Chains A and B, each alone.
Chain A
Amino acid sequence: SAVISQKPSRDICQRGTSLTIQCQVDSQVTMMFWYRQQPGQSLTLIATANQGSEATYESGFVIDKFPISRPNLTFSTLTVSNMSPEDSSIYLCSVELEKLFFGSGTQLSVL
């Protein structure tokens, strides 16, 4: 199993600002995943973060809007840039150890 610490747990931000979400895992993992869950919706994969290489983004998500860092095998950050109210969502990091383990999520509200 894996224990994932994600922070902040929630934030309220102003339009046009950026927020960086951190994810710390208690074991070394090759891939980390960032998901978004818009209100009342399912989870959508934003990108896959591999250590030592650039993140791979899913269709509809771009690096300029959601830059990701993966400096080592236990840590990753996702930045939501130039935020608008449409970015209000829960953002979750996860790791795969046969099954996905999720962080507790970051509930973001953009005013």
Chain B
Amino acid sequence: SQQGEEDPQALSIQEGENATMNCSYKTSINNLQWYRQNSGRGLVHLILIRSNEREKHSGRLRVTLDTSKKSSSLLITASRAADTASYFCATDAESGGSTLGRLYFGRGTQLTVWP
């Protein structure tokens, strides 16, 4: 399976601290994406990083990708209580240079930010 695996499974920090979540995957990809899910509801796309990119920023989010290690990390800086959610990485399936239009999700990291 190409499923991504996040670690840690759960992370609990204080407001203002940084939160780092990691994701590993198994096969070649075209891109890797991070999603956020509040209280078991719909997912919200956070950021996409392509296989030829090593780092990407979006506001307080910083994503890195190491294709040699088949791993990615999501850093949330200066965390807020409102960042409390589950965070998932998702990878596509590289096939003949085109994606299959479907994503493979990890189990997620539950982040709790205490005020």
What is the size, in residues, of chain B's interface with A at 8 Å between Cβ atoms? 20
Determine if A101 and B45 form an interchain contact, defined as CB atoms under 8 angstroms apart. yes
Residue numbers in B under 8 Å from A31 (CB-CB): 101
Shortest Cβ distance from residue A86 to the other chain B in the assembled complex, whole angstroms: 18
- Residues of the B chain whose Cβ atoms lie less than 8 Å from the Cβ of A45: 102-104
Q: What is the interface of chain B, defined by CB distance below 8 A to chain A?
A: 3, 33, 35, 40-45, 48, 88, 90, 101-108
A43 touches B105 (CB 8 A): yes
Q: Secondary structure of the A side of the interface? A: strand
Question: Residues of A within 8 Å of B, CB-based: how many?
Answer: 25
A41, B107: Cβ atoms closer than 8 Å:
yes
Q: Determine whether the beta carbon of A96 is less than 8 Å from that of B101.
A: yes
Binding site for B on A (CB under 8 A): 4, 6, 31, 33, 37, 40-45, 48, 90, 92, 94, 96, 98-105, 107
Expressed in whole angstroms, the Cα–Cα distance for A61 and B42 within the complex equals 21
Taking a contact as CB atoms under 8 Å apart, the answer to whether A90 and B40 are in contact is yes
CA distance A4 to B90 in the complex (A): 20
State the Cβ distance, B78 to closest chain A Cβ, in Å: 25
When chains A and B are docked, how far (Å) is the Cα of A14 from the Cα of B64?
46
Residues of A within 8 A of B108 (CB): 42
